Chain A
Amino acid sequence: MSTETLQNARRQIEICNACRYCEGYCSVFPAITRQTAFADGDITQLANLCHNCRGCYYACQYTEPHEFAINLPQILAEVRTDSWKEFAWPRGFARAYDRHGVAIAGLLILCVMALIFLAGSLQNVGSGAGFYAYMSHVVMVAIFAPAFVLPLFTAGISIRRYWTHVGGGRIALKDLRKALQDVATMRDLSGGQEQGCNFEDEDRFSNARRVAHQFVLWGFLLCFAATSSGTLLHYVFDLHAPYGFFSLPKLLGVPGGLMLSAGTAWMIRLKLSADGALADARVRGGDMAFVVLLFAVSTSGLLLYAATGTALVPLLLTFHLATVLTLFLTLPYSKFVHGFYRLAAMIKNAKAAK
């Protein structure tokens, strides 16, 4: 990690600790006041606890042009990205975080589409029903199972490294529950009094980002549950796709997809109107690519369902599968990991707050 960035973060955090005006906004400031000295691990932990709600920036009497030049949302965002790169495994891939994210994602989708087409053309097309008319179930599983498992495995290694670095220790069930509750409600984007955060319109408080984020989070989880239920139906109950509308995969997947598409579109709009100077400029493209990719996953999934029985299915299916594959392949090296690190930081914080 850049010692210069860490030192600047430490300098700013010490100023915050002497001021404490922002104590009521989020979890970061109460965590700061519990300490008087800040080791590198403490700063990494605070950085991953920060949700970039920006309330502290607009309330700060020491932002530029003041000589103290406080910009806590930005410096913590930089430490946060640095920590993800530091803990990424294999480390060589870490550079993917800040190299023209949109271009990488686009290119990857194209490559994956080509591969899927290739895989599809190599086998006996037309023997299955629904999707499987275009790609057999076996091929799909052969491609996707490792693509799901490997990234989660590498992300797991990263989180382990993080946990050691910040001195996480044993996890109590109570701390896990508290952290999950706070994630479920995005408490740290509530501004402390449900007024929300300062994101899309300078110092105006709004819950837009909080609600948009929860559309994305809950939408994603519903889609994930839909896929899982499909897997169960396939293997346990021997019920194969295509599924009708009143089946678990569709009842979970359609609302999930709608939420994910609406949430990501909203998030993109909010991100475009937010001040880039309060975030890590190096990963602006990568962060945006992640949200666009999520949007592409859910929207192509919905379109695919809508196009059932038409000639568009092969193309849409290939595109949809390519986006899903890209999302998971880039998981350990994209904004996707923020969810794992954030949850870890919140568990650690719940533990320390006792």
Chain B
Amino acid sequence: MVNLVKNRGNCQMTTSYDIIVVGGGNAALCAAIEAAETGARVLILEAAPKSYRGGNSRHTRNFRCMHDGPLSVLIDSYGEDEYFDDLLRVTKENTDEKLARMVIRNSQECQPWMEAHGVRFQPSLSGTLSLGRTNAFFLGGGKALVNAYYRTAQALGVEVHYEAEVVHVGMSAGAFTHVELKDGSKIEGRALVIASGGFQADLDWLADAWGPAARNFLIRGTPFNRGVVLRDMLDQGAGGVGDPTQCHAVAIDGRAPKFDGGIVTRLDCVPFSVVLNKHGQRFYDEGEDVWPKRYAIWGRLVAAQPDQVAYSIIDSRSRDLFMPSVFPPIKADTLDELRIKLDLPIAAMQTFDSFNAACGEGAFSPQELDGLATDGVTPAKTNWARPLSEPPFYAYELRPGVTFTYLGLQVDETARVQAGGTPLANVWAAGEIMAGSILGEGYLAGFGMTIGTVFGRIAGKEAASYVN
């Protein structure tokens, strides 16, 4: 079948596609590759221009992978139960066990598949040794992975349109028929895979859920994930899943760009610091656990503070205990001078004094839970509690940085999108847009890429077997 499609103002002839993939990140590419390998004719519609292709995947660096023994760059073993326990802990059991275990079990087989499709791995990066057993790092990071997948997909005949933002999914009698693009053109297809991410870049939508505080959030990833297709599908009766206020959010440097700041804006200094809000008060145990297990809760903690801002303060002894951030810290020779530079009230001095007085003697050990705790302040700091005493003093401004939102499309274990309790005939979803089916709250480092890879591949295979 041949039809006329308007593309960027030009009329051109094109054939219709078997499978249309909305989105251009990891999940979309995995789906497109799996489908194209069956011989299906696949089109990727990526909203971003080529230079920004890949959604949030371009900012990632690893994926969390189960393995029964050493696998590629992964050392020792990381079994299904341990992996699932880690997930239960961070999500506070707010997860779908069946889907979660399926993702975990499938992750082991994904690693060799990824290598076979062009992805290269490397041992965990310097400063991330604690992840060497659980997370497989991509050589060059997520953009290198995305580049490799585009090469592989295009070699398989997958067509890619950039700056092709889908605004509406055409449905007829519970089945997908075509997509409509922002430029007014329509493209027909026989099956649809939606992998267009969360809605975090739409600040109005975030503000609907969070209130006006959300306008102070920074978006760590792509500005193209505005949830347009997600909202369109929900409006058309697709089953939603997840709480709109839940997301993967971390505390990042307050000076980060509004969008796309990525990895370099992260701050790993919290456990070795004293964190104050704008009223000069402490509000949470900075040393509750090692940072890889706590970084994902600090976004919400800071979001709950007045003006969504906090200040992490260290003394010179802690300066080299964490990876350097891209922005230099604010520096002063006395705590009072630092307080003035940060525009904090005088109450901050009382907080410093009582915190320092509550620190006791003991061995400080940055690489492990050292039990060096405060005595007599609330909240307590339960590890790495050293007084702020050795000038110069340094401060970083913290703001919530949203990676991706969890409100999404409900899918079954075949990645098929649900509507009113029954699956849609020919619509599948993968990646961040359905991650809320598994992540009710909290986040486990590298799990987003695992969900995207496992569900992307399933969606591609299922859609292909439908059209073939």
Listed in ascending order, the chain A residues whose CB lies under 8 Å from chain B are 14-15, 17-25, 30, 33, 36, 55-56, 58-68, 192-193, 195, 203-204
Provide the bound-state CA to CA distance between A236 and B144, in Å: 57
**Shortest CB distance B225–A (Å):** 15
A61–B326 CB distance below 8 A:
no
> A60 and B143 in contact (CB under 8 A), knowing A18-B325, A20-B127, A24-B122?
yes
**Top 7 A-B pairs, shortest CB-CB distance:** A21-B141, A59-B140, A24-B122, A18-B264, A59-B144, A18-B326, A203-B147
> A25 and B139 in contact (CB under 8 A), knowing A14-B324, A58-B144, A58-B147?
yes
Provide the bound-state CA to CA distance between A101 and B262, in Å: 41
Nearest residue in A to B54 (C-beta to C-beta)?
A61
> A36 and B58 in contact (CB under 8 A), knowing A14-B326, A20-B126, A67-B257?
no
A18–B263 CB distance below 8 A:
yes
**Shortest CB distance A128–B (Å):** 59
Most chain B CB within 10 A, of A24, A33, A56, A63, is at: A24
A22 CB contact (under 8 Å) in B127, B140, B257: B140
A61–B257 CB distance below 8 A:
no
Residues from chain B with a CB closer than 8 A to the CB of A21 are 61, 125, 138, 140-142, 144, 263
Provide the bound-state CA to CA distance between A18 and B322, in Å: 10
Provide the bound-state CA to CA distance between A61 and B125, in Å: 17
Between A and B, 18 residue pairs with Cβ closer than 8 Å are A14-B326, A18-B264, A18-B324, A21-B125, A21-B141, A24-B123, A30-B126, A33-B126, A36-B324, A55-B140, A58-B143, A59-B147, A61-B141, A61-B260, A63-B51, A68-B264, A195-B120, A203-B147
**Shortest CB distance A49–B (Å):** 17
A22–B326 CB distance below 8 A:
no
B59–A192 CB distance below 8 A:
no
**Shortest CB distance A261–B (Å):** 32
A59–B143 CB distance below 8 A:
yes
B262–A61 CB distance below 8 A:
yes
Most chain A CB within 10 A, of B126, B140, B143, B326, is at: B140
**Shortest CB distance A337–B (Å):** 30
B residues 138-195 in Cβ contact with A at 8 Å: 138-144, 147, 151
Kindly supply a per-residue 1/0 record for chain B positions 304-345, scoring 1 wherever the CB is within 8 Å of any chain A CB and 0 otherwise. Answer: 000000000000000010011110000000000000000000
Residues from chain A with a CB closer than 8 A to the CB of B263 are 18-19, 21, 61
A19–B320 CB distance below 8 A:
no
> A56 and B151 in contact (CB under 8 A), knowing A20-B125, A23-B126, A61-B58?
no
**Shortest CB distance A71–B (Å):** 12
Residues from chain A with a CB closer than 8 A to the CB of B324 are 14, 17-18, 36
Residues from chain B with a CB closer than 8 A to the CB of A193 are 120, 139
Provide the bound-state CA to CA distance between A222 and B127, in Å: 45
Most chain B CB within 10 A, of A56, A59, A60, A67, is at: A59
Kindly supply a per-residue 1/0 record for chain B positions 119-141, scoring 1 wherever the CB is within 8 Å of any chain A CB and 0 otherwise. Answer: 01011011100000000001111
Provide the bound-state CA to CA distance between A22 and B138, in Å: 9
A22–B141 CB distance below 8 A:
yes
Contact-residue bracket for chain B: 20 to 34
Provide the bound-state CA to CA distance between A36 and B262, in Å: 20
Provide the bound-state CA to CA distance between A203 and B138, in Å: 15
Provide the bound-state CA to CA distance between A21 and B139, in Å: 7
Nearest residue in A to B151 (C-beta to C-beta)?
A204
Provide the bound-state CA to CA distance between A62 and B141, in Å: 12
Provide the bound-state CA to CA distance between A139 and B340, in Å: 79
Nearest residue in A to B141 (C-beta to C-beta)?
A21
A61–B59 CB distance below 8 A:
yes
Nearest residue in A to B138 (C-beta to C-beta)?
A21
**Shortest CB distance B464–A (Å):** 27
A59 CB contact (under 8 Å) in B126, B127, B141: B141
B325–A23 CB distance below 8 A:
no
> A192 and B144 in contact (CB under 8 A), knowing A23-B126, A67-B257?
no
B260 CB contact (under 8 Å) in A23, A36, A66: A66
B139–A65 CB distance below 8 A:
no
Provide the bound-state CA to CA distance between A147 and B140, in Å: 45
Nearest residue in A to B124 (C-beta to C-beta)?
A23
Provide the bound-state CA to CA distance between A98 and B126, in Å: 39
Nearest residue in A to B326 (C-beta to C-beta)?
A18
B139–A24 CB distance below 8 A:
yes
Residues from chain B with a CB closer than 8 A to the CB of A22 are 140-141
**Shortest CB distance A245–B (Å):** 46
B122–A61 CB distance below 8 A:
no
Provide the bound-state CA to CA distance between A17 and B260, in Å: 18
Most chain B CB within 10 A, of A23, A25, A56, is at: A23
Kindly supply a per-residue 1/0 record for chain B positions 87-130, scoring 1 wherever the CB is within 8 Å of any chain A CB and 0 otherwise. Answer: 00000000000000000000000000000000010110111000
Provide the bound-state CA to CA distance between A24 and B144, in Å: 12
Residues from chain B with a CB closer than 8 A to the CB of A64 are 51
Provide the bound-state CA to CA distance between A33 and B120, in Å: 21
Provide the bound-state CA to CA distance between A15 and B320, in Å: 17
A61–B320 CB distance below 8 A:
no
> A24 and B140 in contact (CB under 8 A), knowing A14-B326, A59-B147, A204-B151?
yes
B residues 346-381 in Cβ contact with A at 8 Å: none
Nearest residue in B to A192 (C-beta to C-beta)?
B139
Provide the bound-state CA to CA distance between A21 and B59, in Å: 10
B151–A23 CB distance below 8 A:
no
Provide the bound-state CA to CA distance between A55 and B143, in Å: 11
Provide the bound-state CA to CA distance between A195 and B138, in Å: 14
Provide the bound-state CA to CA distance between A21 and B144, in Å: 10
A203–B122 CB distance below 8 A:
no
Kindly supply a per-residue 1/0 record for chain B positions 68-95, scoring 1 wherever the CB is within 8 Å of any chain A CB and 0 otherwise. Answer: 0000000000000000000000000000
Residues from chain A with a CB closer than 8 A to the CB of B143 are 58-61
Provide the bound-state CA to CA distance between A125 and B122, in Å: 66
A19–B147 CB distance below 8 A:
no
Residues from chain A with a CB closer than 8 A to the CB of B264 are 15, 18-19, 62, 68
Nearest residue in B to A193 (C-beta to C-beta)?
B120
A36–B326 CB distance below 8 A:
no
Provide the bound-state CA to CA distance between A66 and B126, in Å: 25
Provide the bound-state CA to CA distance between A66 and B258, in Å: 12
Residues from chain B with a CB closer than 8 A to the CB of A25 are 139-140
Kindly supply a per-residue 1/0 record for chain B positions 240-268, scoring 1 wherever the CB is within 8 Å of any chain A CB and 0 otherwise. Answer: 00000000000000000100101110000
**Shortest CB distance A176–B (Å):** 26
Residues from chain A with a CB closer than 8 A to the CB of B123 are 24
B151–A61 CB distance below 8 A:
no
Residues from chain B with a CB closer than 8 A to the CB of A67 are 257
Residues from chain A with a CB closer than 8 A to the CB of B325 are 18
